Structure formats: structure tokens, C-alpha cells
Chains A and B, each alone.
Chain A
Amino acid sequence: MKISKLAVAGTLESSDCMVTIEPAKKGIDLELDSVVIRQYGRRIREVAMETLDRLEVKNARVTIVDKGALDCTIKARIECAAARASEFEGRVSWGGTIR
């Protein structure tokens, strides 16, 4: 998935996270800010990198401000931000049928 513009997904509410994805020249530049960085920082990074890898996002600057989100939430927010930042913007029917 090619990241062609900046996009945001998620909120800063408790148990959620806000993900910002924007174009970058080379590789993944991941910045993580988390209320539980000492406990789960490494795990959150792992989830983020796995998700980006699965989406085949190769070059992007990713900022995650985490408010204690579960893995599934982090994945969902990254997927959404990446879709919005890519050529798939507006074409993913979230929760509906994928054609």
C-alpha cells in the first residue's frame, strides 16, 4: 500500500489510540507515545510493524499516541489510517463486504 498523503484515525480517548500516517522517503519511521510505554511499548511497536508489513506499507512516517488501546484496536486504527492515506481512500467499506 503506497502512502500518498497524511491521514489520521482514532481518538485520544481512554483505551483508544490516535494513529497518524504520512509519506516518507525510505522505510518506516515509527514514533510511539504511550501511557503504558514501560509495560507495553515493545508489544505496541511489534503490533504496529506487523500490521504495516501485512498492509505492505514500505515507506511511511507513523505516529501513534496510545491511551492504553488493546492490540485489536491498534491494528484497526493503523489499517484505517493507512487506507485513508492511500489510493484506497473512500473505497474500503468498513464492516461491509470487501469486493
Chain B
Amino acid sequence: MGISICQTPLPGGQNKEYLELLELCGLRDEGDADVVALMTEDDRLVACGALAGHTIKQLAVDTDHEGLGLMASVLSALISEAAARGVHRLFLCTKPDNLKMFVSMGFHAIAETAEAVLLENRRGGIESFLESIPKYEGVCGAVVCNCDPFTLGHRHLIEYAAAHCDNLYVFAVSEKGSMFSPEERLEMIRKGTADILNCHVFESDMYLISRATFPAYFVRDESRADLVKSDLDLDLFCRKIAPALGISRRFAGEEPFSPVTRAYNERMKELLPEHGISFEEIPRLSEISAGKVRELIRDGESEKTKELVPESTYAVIQSRA
């Protein structure tokens, strides 16, 4: 039996076999893998797994080959590959039935739904993240935003949210954006909200809307928005993050364009109240979206973004031009 690490996309025949094995195990290819580990016996695929950014997922073993420890080999190969790529912080997504096995392989569960569990490779990872964030008095709210870049639309949402609670946590999505780096975006949000005294901006450290907690958000396959699974992300927010920080309100902008974001908002409406957290969708400022700003920058018309973004963001855009 041999194991090999393969770049995606896989060549046709191999890909077909890979998709079949995933389907056999009740999984599907989420389309964001950087590499896959394939274990073969006599040219037949018997086990596989994928590495997508910081997340190990799509782990499957052929039913005839269960109980032979193949999963341990696949996981080892993926962890070594991740280390070679300089990826040390790892998440692992699997079915609840497999939880025990992966706990025995050094992973720690952080979120769970009926269909999936999310684990991380660091004991107390989420806990130390939450300890690093100050706790505030009164009614606390939360906004999670990508802000690629930070626009007057985001500003509008945050202003509204901050006016409707005593203290507002703003979490900046920590994944690489399509244009601005996580550091640039965090800085833009901080500067653009500096005058809102009860607004506190933090990195989300891959625990909120990340490729680990909510991969569909980054794959952006809008045709499959009905399959969008955001429950792990929301479980982590509702059962770990919100209680630790005393968050009882969450705010988001209304989403007229992206079906994926809309599905996420819909799910928040359903799930958050079950955990005693209210959810409010704020009507969007017409004509303003981060996507539109990026388009203008790409088209070399960055001076036209002036009406759409705060001065602090405009300065960043100018410095890039």
C-alpha cells in the first residue's frame, strides 16, 4: 500500500475514483482542497484525505479497508505535508462518529453539529483566544465582517449596531481576502471606527467565518448555495464565543447579492435565538458594496471609490495605486 500527496485538481480518472470514495463515505468534494492524500492498494484507491488551507477534511476509507489504521496513515501524511508548507495550526472536519478516533490522534473538538465536528490540533486553542479578548460591561453585541475593503456600508452597519448595545465586538475575518490582507483590513476597520467609542475591533483568529468553520463562504460556488453549511461556524459562535464574551446580540448587513451570505443570514435567524442571542439584519446602504469598490480599483478608477469608503480606507487605496 502506498500513499501519495497530489496537487489539485486531480487528473480525470483519479478524480473520478476520489469522488466515488467520498460519496461512498457520505462526503462530497467541497472544492477548496490544496492537496489530497491518496492511499492506493494494487492501483485501487482505498483511503483519502484533503488539506484546504489550515483544514484537514474529506477523510474517507473504503468500507473493505476499515479497521486497518489507514486513516492514521492518511492523517499523518497530511500533517507532515502541512508542516512542510509551514501550516502549523490545523483544524479537522469529520463526522461525529469519528470524533473519538481523531481525539486519540491529538485533536480537540471545538464545534459540533448533527452532521459534522470541527477539531483543532491545539489543546485549549479557542479558550486562549477567548481569554485574550477583554470583556465589556452591559449588553454586548457582535458583528463579523470581511471588509475587503472597509466601506461606508460597513461603517453604517457598525454605527447602527453600536447604537443598539452597550459594547460592540467587531470581529475581522482573518482569512486572506481577494484584495486586502487581513492586517490591512483589521487596520482599516480600526481606523474607520476609531470615533465609535463602544466599538472594539478584534481579529477572529480563524474562529469566525474562516475556511475551517465555514468553507462554503470562501468557495463561493453560488450555484450550490442550497448546500451551504454554516452550522459549525454558528455552533462555535453560540456555544463558545458568545457565552465567553457575554454577547447577546448579533448584527449583519442585508445581503441582496450573494446567495451564500444570504443563506448564512437566514441560518442565523433560525439558530441564534435558540441560544438566547437576538439577530438583526440591517438594510444595506444602496449602491455600496466592497465588491464594487474592488471592481473600481481593478479597473484603475480608484478615485471613484472616494464616495464609497471612509477617508481612512481611501488613504489605503491611494497608497496602493
Does B198 count as interface, using CB distance less than 8 angstroms? Answer: no
Q: Which of A9-26 contact B (CB under 8 A)?
A: 10-14, 18, 20, 22
Beyond A11-B76, A14-B69, is A6–B83 a contact (Cβ under 8 Å)?
A: yes
B93 CB, nearest partner CB in chain A, Å: 17
Q: Are A18 and B83 in contact (CB under 8 A)?
A: no
Q: Mark B72-113, 1 if CB is under 8 A from A, else 0.
A: 110111011001000010000000000000001110000000
Query: A7–B83 contact, CB under 8 A?
Result: yes
A contact face: mostly helix, strand, loop, or mixed: strand
Residues of A contacting B88 in the complex (Cβ-Cβ under 8 angstroms): 6, 22
CB distance from A89 to the nearest CB of B (A): 12
Query: B residues 202-217 with Cβ under 8 Å of A?
Result: none
Q: Residues of A contacting B77 with CB < 8 Å?
A: 11
Instruction: Enumerate chain B residues within 8 angstroms of A6, measured Cβ to Cβ.
Output: 83, 88
Q: Which residues of B contact A65 (CB under 8 A)?
A: 105-106
Residues 99-153 (chain B) with a chain A CB within 8 angstroms: 104-106, 123
Question: Min CB distance, A58 to chain B, in Å?
Answer: 21
Does A63 lie within 8 Å of B72, measured CB to CB?
Answer: no
Give the chain A neighbours of B106 by CB distance below 8 A: 12, 18, 33, 63, 65
| B37 CB to nearest A CB, Å | 12
Asked if A13 and B80 make an inter-chain contact with CB atoms under 8 angstroms apart, the answer reads: no
Write the nearest CB–CB distance from B273 to chain A, whole angstroms: 38
> When the two chains form their complex, are residues B72 and A14 in contact, meaning their CB atoms are under 8 A apart?
yes
The answer to whether residues A8 and B80 also contact, given A13-B69, A18-B106 and a CB cut-off of 8 A, is yes
| Interface check A45, CB cutoff 8 A | no
Total chain A interface residues with beta-carbon distance under 8 A: 17
Of all chain A residues, the one with the shortest Cβ separation from B102 is A12
Tell me the interface secondary structure of chain B in the complex: helix
Q: Which residues of A contact B73 (CB under 8 A)?
A: 11-13
CA distance A93 to B123 in the complex (A): 34
Known: A22-B88, A65-B106. A13 touches B72 (CB 8 A): yes
**Is A76's CB within 8 Å of the partner chain B?**
no
With beta carbons under 8 angstroms apart, the residue of B72, B79, B80 that contacts A67 is B72
Give the CA-CA distance A33 to B104 in the complex, in Å. 8
Find residues 250-305 in chain B having any chain A CB closer than 8 Å to their own CB: none
CB-defined contacts of A14 to chain B, threshold 8 Å: 69, 72
Complex contact B79–A8 (CB within 8 A): yes
Restricting to B131-177, which residues have a CB under 8 Å from any CB of A? none
The answer to whether A35 and B76 touch across the interface, beta carbons within 8 angstroms, is no
Distance in angstroms between the alpha carbons of A71 and B58 in the assembled complex: 34
Complex: A18 Cα to B76 Cα, angstroms = 8
Question: Is the Cβ of B123 less than 8 Å from the Cβ of A31?
Answer: yes
Q: How far is the CA of A7 from the CA of B83 in the complex (A)?
A: 7
**Would B76 and A13 count as touching, CB distance under 8 A?**
yes
Report the minimum CB–CB distance from A13 to chain B (whole Å): 5
Minimum distance in angstroms from B216 CB to a CB of chain A:
29
Provide the bound-state CA to CA distance between A35 and B69, in Å: 14
Smallest beta-carbon distance A21→chain B, Å:
11
Return the chain B residue nearest A65 by Cβ. Answer: B106
- Taking CB atoms, residues of chain A closer than 8 Å to B69 are 13-14
Whether B83 lies near A12 (C-beta < 8 A) is no
Given contacts A6-B83, A12-B73, A65-B106, 8 further A-B contacts (CB under 8 A): A6-B88, A8-B79, A11-B80, A12-B106, A13-B72, A13-B76, A18-B76, A20-B83
Q: Which residues of B contact A (CB under 8 A)?
A: 69, 72-73, 75-77, 79-80, 83, 88, 104-106, 123
Q: What would 10 A/B residue contacts be, using CB atoms closer than 8 Å?
A: A6-B83, A8-B79, A12-B73, A12-B76, A13-B72, A13-B73, A18-B76, A18-B106, A65-B105, A65-B106
Binding site for B on A (CB under 8 A): 6-8, 10-14, 18, 20, 22, 31, 33, 35, 63, 65, 67
The 7 closest A-B pairs by CB, nearest first: A65-B106, A11-B76, A8-B83, A12-B72, A6-B88, A12-B76, A12-B105
